[in-house]
Structure 1
Amino acid sequence: MKRHLYLITFLFSLAISAQDLDTFFSKTNTFLGTHVKNGKVDYKTIHKDQSDLDEILKIAEKISVKASDGNSYQAFWINAYNVSVIKGIIDNYPTKSPLDNTGFFDKTTYNLGGKSITLNDVEHKLLRAKFKDARFHFVLVCGAIGCPPLINEAYMPNTLDEQLETQTKKAINGSFLRVNEKKKKVEASEIMKWYEDDFTMDGMTKIDFINKYRTEQIPDNYKLSYFSYNWTLNKQ
């Protein structure tokens, strides 16, 4: 009898958790669709009325999702990171850059997925360390112009791989690189310098990684360097 009751309780908790996760994705999708345009965030409007943002983060507190459920786990934490960055900016609004706020990435904590956690912990411990996927760098948006653009929709479990591919291709074929054919050189975002190991896994060179996603291939003899990261706030 006790085992039967335990099973019912367990299945009920799973159903509630799945419902919370669906609600989180739905409300995040609506929120981003309302406040993000061309990769820029309307912080001014959000600051005037933070109720939707606070509701999303309140739901995120109770979410329970395991790494074994890879797509749901990754989609949750990518969205949780991006929404928490917006919350961090709003809590310090007005601000010109996330770096103007001490501890923005490594000290300020958020209650997400049953944890009190920093943005750096989400990125480095919960995502990069577990899945070894360089494409995370093109969907985790740090609140600055130098980051990849924030899309105006949520990352969803059933479309996650397609979204990761799309955003990586957009970056590699867009502002993430500056190619000078005359000088046979290519400049990349400093992201490729800071996270070199992520872009050189399995014996791959950085040029190999670039060419995996780039329409116009970069010759192997091009010299790779890096342009300075733009930490100016990605505001509308």
Structure 2
Amino acid sequence: MSMTGDRPGTDGASQWVGAERWVRFGSIVIIIACLAAVGRLLPLGLAMDRVSGTIAGMGVWGPLVFALVYVLATILFVPGAVLTLAAGALFGLAWGTAAVSIGSTIGAAVAFVIARYMARAWVKRQLTRFPKFHAIDRAIAERGWEVVALLRLSPVIPFNMQNYAYGLTAIRLWPCVFASWLAMLPGTFAYVYIGYAGRASVASVVVAEGAGRSVGQWIMLVVGLIATIAATVYITKFARRANQRQSVEIDRNGCSPTADHGVVGRMPSPRAALGFALAAVIALIVTGCAYLNASLLKGIFGPPVVRMSEAYGENTNGPTFDHSAFDALLKVHVNGSGGVDYAGLMRDRGALRGYIERIGTAPFEQMGRDEKLALLINGYDAFTLELICEYWNGGDLRSIRDIPGPQRWDAVRWEVGDETWSLNQIEHEQIRPKFAEPRVHFALVCGAVGCPPLRREAYAGDRLEAQLQDQVDYVHAHDRWYRLDADQNVTHLTPLYSWYRGDFEQDAGSVLAYVARIKPSVKQLIGAGRSPRVRWLDYDWSLNNQENIP
């Protein structure tokens, strides 16, 4: 009887294989849909940008450190799929593929050496769980690196276990390493591409016109992803058929004591199908929880991505608002560097509260565009000062972050005209989407040293343009927020550019293009074809009092 002929239960097994495939496929679709839903809910692209910025700050060491982590993960049996996806999201196609390929290949080589020279008995015991290993051993003895390559493309034994298993066969190290590296490349590229495409789909990056990704860009992204997956599936099927032919040949020669199993004969796995189904259920639960706790999660992932637009026309005949009381407080209690004398402000707290009460009676809806924006900026800064005064406690407050989270930026308590908003609502719902003005990020002061400095004057509608530009120039003239290292071709920027990347890109096309408008030195480098690399400065969350900002 043929070793590949019918066996009892074949029809039932075939039916279960078909059902298992549908379970896997359906589960994967659900998981992808959940990821897309969460990606639209939360600014995951911004979180990726932050991680990327941290790794980018390591320069060439970033991919190398990642490769080292991958080596350790391979040796320690940590599944590499998540790391490979992360490489695509963090480094892109070229560097991501290189980092994973180097890390996985070196890890495989180290595991091979461990199995052959250091832990042979332990590896043998582990391989007793895989009865096909004896057939694989025979196949490698016959065909060497060819079988290793085919098994890497269509694995019978899990990837990390293979690394150790080959150390027990007759194959030499370097042919095994070369075959492994070559055969792992298609799968590596596929997973890296999926990670890259996943980041692209949720990233906060927008094109220069501020209209999001074009239809053509999305088509290229999706077509590339489909082509990558299709090529990987084709290569895997080809390898599986080749392995089956190899199994039949070994059986005919009587070399395999487990020939009826075949080298790559695959019985259906209820556990695997149930695992996929369980992952899909967990994804649905996590997605539901994410939507129920959206505000909390948004605080973890950073400010939301918004589409900036101009919602108000300039109304020169509209009412104005008198900010002289706030102007007087700033002149007395703020120094030239933006440091606040909170002890002195506590003594004048009545005047601060009086100004805040007047904001609640402002004719906001009737005001013109610049009057509205000046009121919102001054209101945000005044509300923050009052919040800090509430928790000042004789100077015990050391950071704005020491204020309880629910009372800090999300407490809906600040009255502007007929509306009551939180600080986050003022910034992310009233200012950013309704004023196409990214310079506000250098005027809204959150009470930390890393924030832009408080001006020693209040913003006024009739002078707003000049005040905002002066504020931007001041920020970019101090190394707390900006520094250019021309010799190293690196520009160090405040993390505000990372957190609100989308706003600056909508206005100028890119962060560097925006900085180039302000700093001629950066513009010259870009014009000379030497666009500087961006590194993020540390953000100091210490309180912006005069002790910290003399």
- Which TM bucket (shorter chain)? 0.7 to 0.9
Aligned to 1:55, which of 354, 365, 370? 354
Q: What residue in structure 1 maps to residue 483 of structure 2?
A: 178
1:117-139 Cα distance to aligned partner (Å, 9 max, x none):
11111111111110121100111
Q: Secondary structure at the match of 1:143?
A: coil
- Higher gyration radius (CA): 2
Q: Contact between 2:319 and 2:367, CA under 8 Å: does it hold in 1?
A: no
Q: Give TM-score, length-normalised by structure 2.
A: 0.38
Which of 502, 511, 516 does residue 197 from structure 1 map onto? Answer: 502
For the residues of structure 1 that align with 2:535 and 2:439, how far apart are their CA atoms? 20
CA distance in 2, matches of 1:131, 1:118: 18
Of residues 204, 208, 231 in structure 1, which corresponds to 2:513?
A: 208
8 Å CA contact 2:319–2:368 kept in 1: the answer is: no
* 1:16-95 mapped onto 2 (5 Å cutoff): 18=319, 21-22=321-322, 25-38=323-336, 39-66=338-365, 69-93=368-392, 94=395, 95=397
- Name the amino acid aligned to 2:450: G
Q: Give the Cα–Cα distance (whole angstroms) in 2 for the partners of residues 169 and 49 of structure 1.
A: 30
Report the Cα distance in structure 2 between the residues aligned to 1:131 and 1:110, rounded to whole angstroms. Answer: 20
188-197 or 200-209, larger mean C-alpha shift: 200-209
- 1:169 equivalent to 2:169? Answer no
Question: Larger % of strand: which?
Answer: 1
Which has the higher relative contact order, 1 or 2, with Cα contacts under 8 A spaced 6 or more apart?
Answer: 1
Give the match for residue 400 of structure 2. 98
| Distance in 2 separating the partners of 1:202 and 1:179 | 22
Identity among equivalent positions (%) equals 27
Partner amino acid for 2:378?
N
How far, CA to CA, are the matches of 2:429 and 2:328 in structure 1? 28
8 Å Cα contact 1:30/1:153 also seen in 2: yes
- What letter matches 2:434 in structure 1? K
* Deviates most, 154-163 or 68-77: 68-77
Q: Whole-Å Cα distance in 1 between the matches of residues 502 and 450 of structure 2?
A: 20
Amino acid at match of 1:234: N
Q: Structure 2: how far apart are the matches of 1:138 and 1:202? A: 15
Mind listing any 5+ residue stretches in structure 2 that lack a counterpart? Answer: 1-317
| TM-score with structure 1 setting the length | 0.86
Please tell me whether the aligned partners of residues 98 and 231 of structure 1 are also in contact (alpha carbons under 8 angstroms): yes
The question of 1:114 aligning with 2:435 is answered no
Separation in 1, partners of 2:490, 2:366: 40
CA distances 1:142-194 after superposition (whole Å, capped 9, x unpaired): 11111111001010011000101111111123232121122111111111001
Out of 119, 125, 129, the position equivalent to 2:433 is 129
Q: Bigger shift: 55-64 or 166-175?
A: 166-175
Q: RMSD between aligned alpha carbons? A: 1.8
**Do 2:504 and 2:510's aligned partners in 1 also have CA atoms closer than 8 Å?**
yes
In structure 1, the partner of 2:457 is: 153
The CA deviation at 1:67 is 7.7
> Higher helix fraction: Structure 1 or Structure 2?
2
Q: Could you give the per-residue CA deviations for residues 89-141 of structure 1, whole angstroms, max 9, x where no partner exists?
A: 00010311111112311236222322221111111111111012110011111
Aligned partner letter, 2:325: K
Number of residue pairs the alignment of both structures matches: 217
Give, in angstroms, the shift of residue 18 of structure 1: 4.0
CA distance in 2: counterparts of 1:235 and 1:138, whole angstroms: 18
Deviates more, 1:72-81 or 1:37-46: 37-46
CA distance in 1, matches of 2:386, 2:379: 10
Shift of 1:216: 2.8
